[in-house]
A = this chain, B = another copy of it.
Amino acid sequence: MIGLSKGERTREMILARAAPLFNSKGYGRVSMSDLMQATGLEKGGIYNHFRSREELMVEAFRYAADVVRRRVEERTAGPVSSADRLREMVAVYGEFALQPPIEGGCPLLNAAVESDDADPALREQVAEAMERWFRAIRVTLVRGIRRGDVRPDVDVEGTATLIISTLEGAVMLSRLYRTGAHMQSAVRHLQSYIESTIRA
Protein backbone atom coordinates (compact mmCIF):
# COMPACT_ATOMS: atom_id res chain seq x y z
CA MET A 1 0.00 0.00 0.00
CA ILE A 2 3.12 2.22 0.18
CA GLY A 3 3.07 4.87 -2.50
CA LEU A 4 -0.70 4.82 -2.91
CA SER A 5 -2.63 8.06 -2.60
CA LYS A 6 -5.39 8.33 0.00
CA GLY A 7 -8.00 7.81 -2.73
CA GLU A 8 -6.20 4.72 -4.01
CA ARG A 9 -5.96 3.31 -0.49
CA THR A 10 -9.70 3.80 0.04
CA ARG A 11 -10.44 2.10 -3.29
CA GLU A 12 -8.21 -0.83 -2.26
CA MET A 13 -9.93 -1.06 1.14
CA ILE A 14 -13.36 -1.14 -0.52
CA LEU A 15 -12.27 -3.97 -2.81
CA ALA A 16 -10.66 -5.92 0.04
CA ARG A 17 -13.94 -5.82 1.98
CA ALA A 18 -16.39 -6.13 -0.91
CA ALA A 19 -14.62 -9.08 -2.55
CA PRO A 20 -15.28 -11.65 0.23
CA LEU A 21 -18.85 -10.40 0.51
CA PHE A 22 -19.63 -10.87 -3.20
CA ASN A 23 -17.75 -14.17 -3.22
CA SER A 24 -19.71 -15.66 -0.34
CA LYS A 25 -23.20 -14.14 -0.67
CA GLY A 26 -23.24 -13.97 -4.47
CA TYR A 27 -22.88 -10.85 -6.63
CA GLY A 28 -26.62 -10.44 -7.06
CA ARG A 29 -27.49 -10.88 -3.39
CA VAL A 30 -25.20 -8.23 -1.90
CA SER A 31 -27.18 -5.11 -1.04
CA MET A 32 -25.99 -1.52 -0.82
CA SER A 33 -26.42 -1.69 2.94
CA ASP A 34 -24.22 -4.84 3.07
CA LEU A 35 -21.53 -2.88 1.21
CA MET A 36 -21.91 0.18 3.46
CA GLN A 37 -21.65 -1.98 6.57
CA ALA A 38 -18.59 -3.87 5.30
CA THR A 39 -16.70 -0.74 4.24
CA GLY A 40 -17.92 1.74 6.86
CA LEU A 41 -18.66 4.17 4.02
CA GLU A 42 -21.83 5.82 2.76
CA LYS A 43 -23.10 5.04 -0.73
CA GLY A 44 -21.51 8.21 -2.10
CA GLY A 45 -18.19 7.34 -0.48
CA ILE A 46 -18.18 4.01 -2.29
CA TYR A 47 -19.30 5.36 -5.66
CA ASN A 48 -16.64 8.04 -5.54
CA HIS A 49 -14.29 5.24 -6.52
CA PHE A 50 -16.38 3.17 -8.94
CA ARG A 51 -18.56 4.38 -11.79
CA SER A 52 -21.26 1.79 -11.20
CA ARG A 53 -22.20 -1.32 -9.27
CA GLU A 54 -21.11 -3.29 -12.34
CA GLU A 55 -17.62 -1.80 -12.16
CA LEU A 56 -17.42 -2.50 -8.42
CA MET A 57 -18.46 -6.14 -8.96
CA VAL A 58 -15.99 -6.67 -11.80
CA GLU A 59 -13.12 -5.09 -9.83
CA ALA A 60 -14.03 -7.06 -6.69
CA PHE A 61 -13.99 -10.26 -8.74
CA ARG A 62 -10.53 -9.40 -10.13
CA TYR A 63 -9.33 -8.67 -6.61
CA ALA A 64 -10.61 -12.05 -5.35
CA ALA A 65 -9.19 -13.96 -8.32
CA ASP A 66 -5.80 -12.24 -7.80
CA VAL A 67 -5.70 -13.25 -4.13
CA VAL A 68 -6.18 -16.89 -5.12
CA ARG A 69 -3.78 -16.75 -8.07
CA ARG A 70 -1.00 -15.24 -5.97
CA ARG A 71 -1.46 -17.89 -3.29
CA VAL A 72 -1.26 -20.65 -5.89
CA GLU A 73 1.80 -19.08 -7.52
CA GLU A 74 3.63 -18.76 -4.17
CA ARG A 75 3.02 -22.42 -3.45
CA THR A 76 3.86 -23.74 -6.91
CA ALA A 77 6.99 -21.67 -7.59
CA GLY A 78 10.45 -23.17 -7.33
CA PRO A 79 12.61 -25.28 -9.56
CA VAL A 80 10.57 -28.47 -9.61
CA SER A 81 9.65 -30.72 -12.49
CA SER A 82 6.44 -30.04 -14.41
CA ALA A 83 4.72 -33.14 -13.07
CA ASP A 84 5.58 -32.09 -9.50
CA ARG A 85 4.34 -28.58 -10.17
CA LEU A 86 1.00 -29.94 -11.41
CA ARG A 87 0.76 -32.21 -8.36
CA GLU A 88 1.35 -29.19 -6.14
CA MET A 89 -1.24 -27.11 -8.00
CA VAL A 90 -3.80 -29.85 -7.45
CA ALA A 91 -2.86 -30.21 -3.77
CA VAL A 92 -3.12 -26.46 -3.14
CA TYR A 93 -6.59 -26.32 -4.66
CA GLY A 94 -7.51 -29.30 -2.55
CA GLU A 95 -6.65 -27.36 0.59
CA PHE A 96 -8.57 -24.32 -0.65
CA ALA A 97 -11.86 -26.23 -0.84
CA LEU A 98 -12.55 -25.86 2.87
CA GLN A 99 -9.99 -23.16 3.72
CA PRO A 100 -10.17 -20.74 0.82
CA PRO A 101 -7.82 -17.73 0.75
CA ILE A 102 -10.93 -15.61 0.34
CA GLU A 103 -14.24 -16.20 2.11
CA GLY A 104 -16.85 -17.99 0.02
CA GLY A 105 -14.70 -20.50 -1.84
CA CYS A 106 -13.31 -20.34 -5.38
CA PRO A 107 -14.04 -16.93 -6.97
CA LEU A 108 -13.84 -18.42 -10.48
CA LEU A 109 -16.43 -21.10 -9.79
CA ASN A 110 -18.78 -18.74 -7.96
CA ALA A 111 -18.64 -15.96 -10.50
CA ALA A 112 -18.71 -18.32 -13.51
CA VAL A 113 -21.89 -20.04 -12.35
CA GLU A 114 -23.56 -16.79 -11.35
CA SER A 115 -22.65 -14.79 -14.45
CA ASP A 116 -23.01 -17.27 -17.31
CA ASP A 117 -26.61 -16.40 -18.16
CA ALA A 118 -27.04 -13.22 -16.13
CA ASP A 119 -24.08 -10.86 -16.30
CA PRO A 120 -22.01 -10.51 -19.50
CA ALA A 121 -19.47 -8.03 -18.04
CA LEU A 122 -18.66 -10.26 -15.10
CA ARG A 123 -18.66 -13.35 -17.30
CA GLU A 124 -16.02 -11.80 -19.56
CA GLN A 125 -13.71 -11.18 -16.58
CA VAL A 126 -14.24 -14.73 -15.33
CA ALA A 127 -13.42 -16.14 -18.77
CA GLU A 128 -10.17 -14.13 -18.74
CA ALA A 129 -9.19 -15.29 -15.26
CA MET A 130 -10.02 -18.88 -16.16
CA GLU A 131 -7.94 -18.54 -19.30
CA ARG A 132 -4.94 -17.55 -17.14
CA TRP A 133 -5.37 -20.79 -15.20
CA PHE A 134 -5.55 -22.83 -18.41
CA ARG A 135 -2.45 -21.03 -19.65
CA ALA A 136 -0.51 -21.83 -16.46
CA ILE A 137 -1.25 -25.53 -16.92
CA ARG A 138 -0.46 -25.45 -20.66
CA VAL A 139 2.86 -23.65 -20.07
CA THR A 140 3.81 -26.16 -17.36
CA LEU A 141 3.05 -29.10 -19.64
CA VAL A 142 4.79 -27.69 -22.71
CA ARG A 143 7.89 -26.84 -20.68
CA GLY A 144 7.86 -30.36 -19.26
CA ILE A 145 7.64 -31.88 -22.72
CA ARG A 146 10.62 -29.75 -23.83
CA ARG A 147 12.67 -30.71 -20.77
CA GLY A 148 11.67 -34.34 -21.05
CA ASP A 149 9.86 -34.73 -17.75
CA VAL A 150 6.39 -34.82 -19.36
CA ARG A 151 5.45 -37.43 -21.96
CA PRO A 152 5.55 -35.92 -25.45
CA ASP A 153 2.18 -37.40 -26.45
CA VAL A 154 0.27 -35.80 -23.58
CA ASP A 155 -3.07 -34.16 -24.47
CA VAL A 156 -2.31 -30.61 -23.26
CA GLU A 157 -5.79 -29.11 -23.64
CA GLY A 158 -7.52 -32.23 -22.34
CA THR A 159 -5.30 -32.35 -19.26
CA ALA A 160 -5.95 -28.70 -18.43
CA THR A 161 -9.70 -29.24 -18.80
CA LEU A 162 -9.60 -32.39 -16.67
CA ILE A 163 -7.67 -30.76 -13.84
CA ILE A 164 -9.82 -27.63 -13.73
CA SER A 165 -13.17 -29.42 -14.14
CA THR A 166 -12.45 -32.04 -11.53
CA LEU A 167 -11.13 -29.56 -8.97
CA GLU A 168 -13.96 -27.07 -9.45
CA GLY A 169 -16.62 -29.78 -9.31
CA ALA A 170 -15.04 -31.10 -6.13
CA VAL A 171 -14.96 -27.59 -4.62
CA MET A 172 -18.69 -27.41 -5.26
CA LEU A 173 -19.32 -30.76 -3.51
CA SER A 174 -16.99 -29.92 -0.61
CA ARG A 175 -18.78 -26.66 0.06
CA LEU A 176 -22.23 -28.14 -0.38
CA TYR A 177 -21.59 -30.98 2.08
CA ARG A 178 -18.96 -29.16 4.21
CA THR A 179 -16.67 -32.14 4.18
CA GLY A 180 -13.23 -32.69 2.72
CA ALA A 181 -13.92 -36.23 1.49
CA HIS A 182 -14.91 -35.33 -2.07
CA MET A 183 -11.90 -33.12 -2.61
CA GLN A 184 -9.53 -35.72 -1.17
CA SER A 185 -10.90 -38.22 -3.60
CA ALA A 186 -10.59 -35.81 -6.55
CA VAL A 187 -7.00 -34.91 -5.60
CA ARG A 188 -6.08 -38.60 -5.36
CA HIS A 189 -7.55 -39.27 -8.79
CA LEU A 190 -5.77 -36.35 -10.44
CA GLN A 191 -2.43 -37.14 -8.83
CA SER A 192 -2.62 -40.73 -9.95
CA TYR A 193 -3.54 -39.47 -13.45
CA ILE A 194 -0.47 -37.21 -13.39
CA GLU A 195 1.75 -40.17 -12.48
CA SER A 196 0.27 -42.62 -14.97
CA THR A 197 -0.33 -40.38 -17.98
CA ILE A 198 1.73 -37.20 -17.69
CA ARG A 199 5.06 -37.85 -15.96
CA ALA A 200 7.66 -39.15 -18.41
Binding site for B on A (CB under 8 A): 24-26, 28-29, 103-105, 109-110, 112-114, 116-118, 123, 126-127, 130, 155, 157-158, 161-162, 164-170, 172-173, 175-177, 181-182, 185-186, 188-189
Q: List 29 A-B contacts (CB under 8 A).
A: A24-B118, A25-B28, A25-B117, A25-B118, A26-B114, A28-B29, A103-B117, A104-B117, A109-B172, A110-B113, A113-B172, A116-B172, A116-B176, A130-B176, A155-B185, A158-B188, A161-B170, A161-B182, A161-B186, A162-B166, A162-B189, A164-B169, A165-B166, A165-B168, A165-B172, A166-B169, A168-B172, A168-B173, A169-B169
- B127 and A176: CB pair below 8 A? yes
- A117 and B166: CB pair below 8 A? no
Which one, B26, B126, B175, contacts A176 given CB within 8 A?
B126
A175 to B26, CA, bound (A): 18
Which one, B105, B112, B117, B123, contacts A116 given CB within 8 A?
B105
Which one, B114, B176, B181, contacts A112 given CB within 8 A?
B176
- B117 and A114: CB pair below 8 A? no
* Given A103-B117, A116-B175, A164-B169, 8 extra CB contacts under 8 A: A28-B28, A29-B29, A105-B117, A113-B113, A127-B177, A161-B185, A165-B165, A165-B172
- B173 and A164: CB pair below 8 A? yes
